[in-house]
Structure 1
Amino acid sequence: MANILIVGDGAIGLLLSHFLSASHNVSVLTRKSPTNTRFYSRGKGTSKKIDAQFISLNQLNKAAEFDVVLFTVKAFQVLDAFSQIKPFLPIHCSIVLSHNGMGNVDEVNSQLNTHQALYFLTTNIAGFKSNQYIVQHTGEGQSVIGGCNELALQNSAPIADIFKVIPNLTFTNNIQQLRFEKLLVNIAINPLSALSNVRNGELRAPKYNTIIFNALTEACNIAKAQGLNIPLIKALNTAYKIMELTANNYSSMQQDLTYNRETEISAICGYISQQGKLHNIKTPYNDELFVKIQAKKSVV
């Protein structure tokens, strides 16, 4: 049984805390009231209390040492959250990042000691918070975890054993490839669903085909420039499959715009735009999606 700290109590943080607390001691760092009970809900079934301890930042120094610290905050929040948690990290502990988009891995890795393993968890589990204390589990999906530094790559068994309670979890030795494949899904779904204010399944309509095709073409060109082999047809098939599986769901970016929250567009389409400049590859479709989301957010 491991001692796990989950940083962030958004939908994914609460879903993962529900699964992990079935076999481990789980604490969840929250900015909300730590005394309120959180619940997990699936379909028409009875809501279940999430069997985790919710704590505030000033309670961290009283907590037991953690074996694993899992960051489930959004991409743009990772470095700030890590700087707050860093003083409390045990010398021998594993760090796991989990967010949409790219970035942060190199920055976090540079701040770890040689005894701290860094992993990335990518997941297609779907859910949303019906209020700040209840998470609705709305869709199944594969989760993949992989090492991001040498220590993590050499020690896959322990983390895979700890996280095996997460449904449909596998371990990979090439998490960069999997992260980019997830990025392609995010590009196809998140910005368009947010801009059009539609559910994921509605993006299968013919009027979205051209922009999805071109945005993913640009991203696949960036993947190739990075030495990754992701055929466009695979990216399209995966994106449309996820649209079908999560047809009734709203994307996280649509929810962020709806509730006037900052989005992860900089780590998604913004990342492709930045990499396009670096590799001298034109990315007009991702550039446009990035600018439109930024503009919409600024006038909400």
Structure 2
Amino acid sequence: MTNILVVGDGAIGLLLSHFLSNQHNVYVLTRKATNNTRFYSRKNSASQKINARFISLNQLAAQPKFDVILMTVKAFQVQSAFEQVKPYLTEHTNIVLSHNGMGNVEELKSELIPSQALYFLTTSMAGFKSNQYIVQHTGEGQSVIGGCNSLALKNISTMANTLKSIPKLHATSNIQQLRFEKLFVNIAINPLSALHNVKNGQLRDPQYNSMIINLLTEACNIAKAQGLNIPLINALTTAYNVMELTAQNYSSMQQDVINERPTEITAMCGYINEQGKVYNIKTPYNNQLLAKIQAKKSVV
């Protein structure tokens, strides 16, 4: 069995911990009480105990060596979280990032040695925490893993097999394309749902159409500048499909704003804004949402 450390016990971290613990030794790094049982709940089924061990930072040194570190913290937390676990990496530890938005990959690549593989896992599984110890699995979705450095690209099939207990997981040789496609969905849903305090499905109303089209047009222009071919119609179709599939869900950004937590806006609209400066592409609609979400007291 593989020793896996999951960094972060948000909804996605708990969902992945639940599935991975069916086949592996899973440890979850948390800032909350470590002696409280966590539960996985799905629709009307009985809740199940998540068979992982929850540990605090000062307990890390006493744990076995980790084969995989799966980082499920938010984009803006990745660097600080990585610095905390870096002393516990072995020369062959695999690092897997999983968060909304862009960024962090290049920064972490520069901190790893050639024998440490870096992967990115993107997922459209949906869930939320009904309280700090219970995760509700509210939506099916595919998960895709891809390599971000040469060793990971070489070993992607092995890593996908290791994590195969994650539902509907498959590997890709072009994770950057998949990350960008996921970014489009995030940009279309997260900021608007947070700004207007609505569920995902409500964004299909006509009043939001032009804004969504303009946001994704700018994102497509950035993708094209980076050498990616993602037609606007494809981006819109995917975004509206996700709105329909998660119609009764609130987005993660809406939940962050309501609960006065920092958001991932800088890894979404902020990323488009920064890349627009790099490629001299105007991005007024993404800039506008970036400013509006940042103006809220709950964001950084």
| TM-score interval for Structure 1 and Structure 2 normalised by the shorter chain | over 0.9
Equivalent residue number for residue 85 of structure 1: 85
Write the letter of the residue equivalent to 2:84: Q
Q: 2: CA distance between counterparts of 1:297 and 1:7?
A: 26
Equivalent residue number for residue 276 of structure 2: 276
Write the letter of the residue equivalent to 1:273: N
Q: 1: CA distance between counterparts of 2:147 and 2:210?
A: 36
Q: Offset of 1:163 from its aligned partner? A: 1.1
Tell me, which stretches of 5 or more residues in structure 1 are unaligned?
none
Distance 1:260 1:114, change over 3 A: same
Give 4+ residue runs of structure 1 displaced > 3 Å after superposition: 297-300
Q: Indicate yes or no: 2:254 matched with 1:259.
A: no
Equivalent residue number for residue 233 of structure 1: 233
Equivalent residue number for residue 294 of structure 1: 294
| Per-residue CA distance 1:263-286 (angstroms, 9 max, x = gap) | 000000000001001100000000
Q: Indicate yes or no: 2:218 matched with 1:218.
A: yes
Q: Indicate yes or no: 2:26 matched with 1:29.
A: no
Q: Offset of 1:208 from its aligned partner? A: 0.2
User: 2:8–2:29: 8 Å Cα contact kept in structure 1?
Assistant: yes
Equivalent residue number for residue 207 of structure 1: 207
Equivalent residue number for residue 119 of structure 2: 119
Equivalent residue number for residue 248 of structure 1: 248
User: 2:4–2:26: 8 Å Cα contact kept in structure 1?
Assistant: yes
| Per-residue CA distance 1:121-178 (angstroms, 9 max, x = gap) | 0000000000000000000011100000000001112211111111111100100000
| Per-residue CA distance 1:236-272 (angstroms, 9 max, x = gap) | 0000000000000000000000000000000000000
Equivalent residue number for residue 108 of structure 1: 108
Q: 1: CA distance between counterparts of 2:297 and 2:19?
A: 33
TM-score, normalising length: structure 1: 0.99
Distance 1:86 1:299, change over 3 A: closer
User: 2:262–2:298: 8 Å Cα contact kept in structure 1?
Assistant: no
Q: 2: CA distance between counterparts of 1:214 and 1:250?
A: 22
| Per-residue CA distance 1:14-49 (angstroms, 9 max, x = gap) | 000000000100000000011100000001111000
What secondary structure, in the 3-state scheme, does the structure 1 residue paired with 2:240 have? helix
Equivalent residue number for residue 156 of structure 2: 156
TM-score, normalising length: structure 2: 0.99
Q: 2: CA distance between counterparts of 1:299 and 1:270?
A: 13
User: 2:40–2:48: 8 Å Cα contact kept in structure 1?
Assistant: yes
Write the letter of the residue equivalent to 2:27: S
| Per-residue CA distance 1:53-109 (angstroms, 9 max, x = gap) | 000001100000011000000000000000010000011110000000000000011
User: 2:261–2:298: 8 Å Cα contact kept in structure 1?
Assistant: no
1:110-149 correspondence to structure 2 within 5 Å: 110-149=110-149
User: 2:253–2:263: 8 Å Cα contact kept in structure 1?
Assistant: yes
Equivalent residue number for residue 58 of structure 2: 58
Q: 2: CA distance between counterparts of 1:113 and 1:106?
A: 13
Equivalent residue number for residue 190 of structure 1: 190
Write the letter of the residue equivalent to 2:79: L
Q: Offset of 1:297 from its aligned partner? A: 3.3
Q: Offset of 1:296 from its aligned partner? A: 2.0
Q: 2: CA distance between counterparts of 1:126 and 1:19?
A: 14
